[in-house]
Amino acid sequence: MKWNQLWQKGSLLALTAILGTTLAGCSTSTGASSAGSSTAKDAGTLVVYSAGPEGLAKKIQAGFEAKTGIKVEMFQGTTGKILSRMEAEKANPVVDVVVLASLPSMQALAKEDMTLAYPEAANHDKLVKDWSDTEGKYVSYSASALGIVYNTKEVTTPPTSWADLAKPEWKDKVNIPDPSLSGSALDFITGYLSAEGDKGWSLFEQYQQNGVAIAGANQEALDPVITGAKSAVAAGVDYMAYKAKADGEPVDIVYPKEGTVISPRPAAIIKTSQHADQAKQFIDYLLSDEAQQMVTSAYLLPGRTDITADNRANLSEIPTYPVKWDWMGEHSEETTTKFTNLYK
């Protein structure tokens, strides 16, 4: 069933059932607070549900509180956990702002008219247009790109194309994150298929025949590459690779010459918020110079076009596919099922 059909039935629960497993690997955080309590709501505290990354989310929370004096109570979890929490609280919603690690998921919320449009957000005119809603129903303040992460001790000639990983010299040496556990992996697979059409399945069939292994969520797929147990991970999340490299691990990343998929991280104000003015200030802060510098320090792509990173490749340096976000959202469930069945 298509995601938009699920939403037409008013079924956040149905989408949650998919995303509870499909997007469990979108974040490394596990739920760090009891955000969303009625006490916090009554006290005027801004309630934010965020899909991390955890370190960045904490820095943004501290920076916003210091700048505005507004107290933030934050729940950190995966996109699936956030949607599950929203479903559980739908009779008495408490969340004011949601930050997800999946653009199709946020598009679904916007289509259900659950997000408050804020087209006047500070620096909205500087955002990457393809990542944010034209009416301001959500804004993507950051993003990651998917690439091939490889072990520099094991690999002397890095791959330059996705097809390279299907060659004999890579047999049994490659991991790929599980799209039922990693939202970014699902973004890559559906994005690739939206650009390549049905013929795109041949790449994943060749991967399977060459011994490419599904290896859990993003970190679980990357760890064996860091240790040298595997040589590379396909559809690796770039900010994790950049951080590991900065920490002294023997890894590097390449973006295939034919293109890759960007995975934006959108934020939105929920319409039922009783603190809309404070929520708008939070969105403004996400798009501020200060927060965008925090984004780049975390090795993520900034959401603004006028901000550049000096510790990673910038958007203009990454070849990308012309993905179709609506198609990706509508075909996520069937793609996940077909992909995982292929590797059984």
At 235, is the secondary structure helix, strand, or coil? strand
At 136, is the secondary structure helix, strand, or coil? coil
Token digits of residue 249:
């691990």
246 by Cβ neighbours in 10 Å (0-12 / 13-18 / 19+) ranks as: exposed
CA 20, CA 46: separation in Å to the nearest integer?
A: 25
Place of tokens 């399977």: 208
Instruction: Please state the φ and ψ torsions of residue 73, each to the nearest 5 degrees.
Output: -110, 120
CA 186, CA 189: separation in Å to the nearest integer?
A: 5
Is 49 annotated among the ligand-binding residues? no
CA 240, CA 177: separation in Å to the nearest integer?
A: 13
User: Where do the H-state alpha helices sit in the chain?
Assistant: 3-8, 12-22, 38-42, 54-68, 79-88, 103-111, 183-196, 201-209, 218-227, 238-246, 276-286, 289-297, 325-330, 332-342
Q: Which residues are annotated as a binding site for Fe cation?
A: 239
Residue list for the binding site: 239
